[in-house]
Every structure is written in structure tokens, then in C-alpha cells.
Amino acid sequence: MLCKKFEEKIVDLIFGEVGEEEEKQLLSHIENCEKCRNKYNEIKMIIEESKKIEVPVFTSEWWDEKKEVILERVPQGRKNFRIKKKVVFSLVSLLFIFSLSIFFFINHNENIAKKKGTTYYTFNVLSSTTISSPDSILPFSEDEILKMADYMKDSDAEEVLKIILK
Amino acid sequence: MEKKEKFDKFYREYREKLYSVAFRMVGNQEDAIDIVQESFTKAFQKWDSFRGEAKFYTWIYRIVINLSYDYIRRRKKIKTGEIEENVVRIKEKIESDKMVILKDIKKEIQKEIENLTPKQKSIFILKTYEELPYKEIARIVKSKEGTVKATYFQTVEKLRRNLKNKGVLKNVMQEI
């Protein structure tokens, strides 16, 4: 067995996480390799000594007192948390439904207006547009087109007027 | 069994384990107690969301580890100057003595553990003291099993190297 392969398995060997056959191979390797044997002994010692480092121990009564503090904290926190969650969820849902309704309402009105050639509102609610005739595909009124014609060349303006008069 | 009774059972089973992890992570009683209390409070709040206890205990270990990271970070901010001073003093001591001969190797190991990064520390604690499988540790620290295994080995190697540099291991191994 190569030392590198052994190194990968040192920790598993210390924690007894290797199979019987593999354990035999690993132990036979450290018998013959001093470098790996030293490394194994040192790591094993560090892990074993670390386990001996103590942690303060408390009595059952002391833990029970702490539990009471936890339980006292919880109900109010839980209630607030639930209320907050519910309120936020309801508000977000309402906002979503409201936005969807507005979107469909405007779209629906636009379609109807386009078909009928009447006034409809765009997303910019403040501006409205009048469609001159049911067959028109232009989203401008005759007056608006005539105003625009003031800024066109005479030849172009005539063309546009012909289209409108048709 | 009622919710409160179930929680009580869970609390009795895990209070010492979680306290041990928190204490080893932050290194002082007060912070460790705060961490455990906060973790159990969160656990009780989330009690209904978790049906399988196995998943739940992974989750509460994660809470303890994350809260410990926060405490370590906060303490670092406050004590940066203080720690730097100590580091200088330790260096001076090592340079003058060249080899520190210490009877209590546990203390030296403890010092070295304290100097690990929070991530190395949490993996070392969960494996060495809690003896959790790598798979479980990976879930707790939100990492891959292979990464956790590699980190554990690197951590142990780091401890070995540092202790060897201090001359602690040499003395102990000679005694053995």
C-alpha cells in the first residue's frame, strides 16, 4: 500500500470506519512504514486528547429553568410571526389580483375600442385616443391627422388625406 | 403525544449535545447558553413544519453552528486589537523558548482548536465530539460529503503540524 493511500484512510481507521480486510491492510502498512506509523499515532493522540477536553455540565433543574424561559419566549413570537406572515401574504395576493384585473380591463377596452372605433384608454390612463372610423387602423383622430399634416410636405399630406377620405 | 411533550423529549435529548457544540465553537459559557436558547426557541417555532425528526435535528445543529459563526464574527470585531496583542506575545514566547514544554497537552490542543477557522472548527467538533457521519455533517454545514471529509483531514493535519512546531507532540510521543 502506498503512503498516500494510507494517509487518506488514517481518520477512517481511527474512527473504525473501515472494513475488516482494509483494516488489516492498513495496520500491516504502519507496521512496516515508520513515517505513517508516527503520523497515525500523532493524529490518533490529538483526536483522543481532544475528546478529553471538558464542557461545563449543568443539573437537570438548571436545564428545566432554561426551558421555561424558551417556552415563555415562544408563544408571543409565534403569534406575531403568524400574523405578520398572514398579513404580508394577503397584501401580496391582493396586489397581484388588483394588477391582473387592471391589466385585463385595459386590454379588453382597447380591443373593443379598436373594433368599434371609439375612444379607449391606454396604459397611460391620462391620455385617450379617438379612432375615426370602425375600419380605420390608425390610432389617431381626423383632427390629429390634419394637425400632423401641417408638418408634412404637401405631396405627403395629400397622400394621407386620400387614405383618410377613402 | 402533545406538541409540548414532544418538544420536552427533544429538548432533554439534545440540550447537552447542542450546548457542547456551542461551547466548543464559541469557547465561553454565556454565549453558548444564549446560542442554545435561541436555537431551541427557533426549533419550537418551527416545530410544526418538520415532521421527520432526523431532518429536524440536522436543522437545529445547523442553527447552532450558524449562530456560533455570528457570535465568533461579532467577538472578532470587538476584540481584534486584543487578539493581535496576544499573538505578538505568543510569538515572542515561542521564539525565546524555541520549544514549549507543556504538561497539559489538552490545553495546547484547545488553543489550536480556537485558532481554526469557523468552518474547520465546526467540522472538527461535529466529527470528533459528536461523531456524526460525514454525510450528516455535510447537510449541517451545507457542503459536499467529500469536501467535509477532506476538510476534517486537513484540520487534523493542521493541528498536528502546529503542535509539532511548538514541540508539544515530540515531547508527548516520547513519553508514550
A49 to chain B: which residues are within 8 Å by CB? 105-106, 109
Identify the residue whose cell numbers are 482494509. Answer: A22
Question: Residues with Cβ < 8 Å from B71, sequence gap 6 or more?
Answer: B25, B26, B31, B34, B35
Lowest mean pLDDT among A75-84, B67-76, B154-163: A75-84
Q: Residue B85 pLDDT > 50, yes or no?
A: no
Write down the ipTM of this complex: 0.78
Chain A closest CA to B50's CA: distance in Å? 15
Region B14-34: mean pLDDT is: 93
**What pLDDT, on the 0 to 100 scale, is given for residue B123?**
96
Within 65-84 of B, beta carbons closer than 8 Å to A belong to: none
Q: Topology of domain B3-168, per CATH? A: Rna Polymerase Sigma Factor; Chain: A (1.10.1740)
pTM (2 d.p.) = 0.65
Region B104-120: mean pLDDT is: 89
Domain extents in chain B = 3-168
Measured CB to CB, residues of chain A less than 8 Å from chain B are 7-8, 10-11, 15, 38-39, 41-43, 45-47, 49-53, 55-58, 63, 66-67, 69-71, 73-74, 77-78, 81
Using DSSP's 3-state secondary structure scheme, residue B131 falls into: coil
Say which amino acid occupies B151. Answer: T
* Residue B104: all three cell numbers together: 497539559
Give the Cα-Cα-Cα angle A140, A146, A149 (nearest 5 degrees). Answer: 105
- Interchain CB distance below 8 Å, A47 and B176: no
Q: Residue A2 pLDDT > 90, yes or no?
A: no
